[in-house]
């Protein structure tokens, strides 16, 4: 995994502050592979059921926290709510690592 322990802690803290302490985070995509270089940070946050408006507000909050803590970088953030059957959610769970 191409994230430092400090980056992982900042990601987990940002998720907890934005979505609550029950939120779980997965890293997926190229950052999971130590042999690759570069790439954005692909994250999936699993949370309780939220309205579309609330989910968007919390996503924006988390992205803002991450930018202030990790610096300006490309971060893709997928929000998974109960019953989410999107292919990106399946791929994140199958290929990703829980942080």
Q: What is the mean pLDDT of residues 5-34?
A: 94
Query: In this structure, are residues 76 and 43 in contact, taking their beta carbons and an 8 Å threshold?
Result: yes
Question: Count of CB atoms within 10 A of residue 68's CB?
Answer: 11
Task: Give the model's confidence band at 8: pLDDT under 50 very low, under 70 low, under 90 confident, else very high.
Answer: very high
Q: Is a pLDDT exceeding 70 seen at residue 70?
A: yes
DSSP string of 16-57, one letter each residue: HHHH-TT-EEEEESGGG-TT-----EEEEEE-S---HHHHHH
pLDDT of 1 strictly over 70: no
What is the helix (H) or strand (E) element at residue 96, kind and residue range? none
Q: Which residue has the tokens 């940070």?
A: 41
* CATH code of the domain covering residue 68: 3.30.460.10
How many domains is the chain partitioned into structurally? 1
Range of the domain at 66: 5-98
């Amino acid at each position: 995994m191409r994230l430092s322990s400090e980056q992982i802690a900042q990601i987990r803290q940002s998720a907890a502050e934005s979505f609550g302490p029950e939120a779980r985070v997965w890293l997926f995509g190229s950052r999971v592979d130590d042999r690759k270089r570069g790439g954005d940070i692909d994250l999936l946050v699993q949370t309780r059921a939220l309205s579309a408006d609330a989910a968007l507000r919390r996503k924006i909050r988390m992205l803002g926290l991450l930018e202030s803590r990790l610096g300006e970088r490309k971060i893709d953030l997928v929000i998974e709510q109960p019953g989410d059957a999107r292919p990106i959610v399946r791929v994140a769970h199958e290929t990703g690592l829980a942080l």
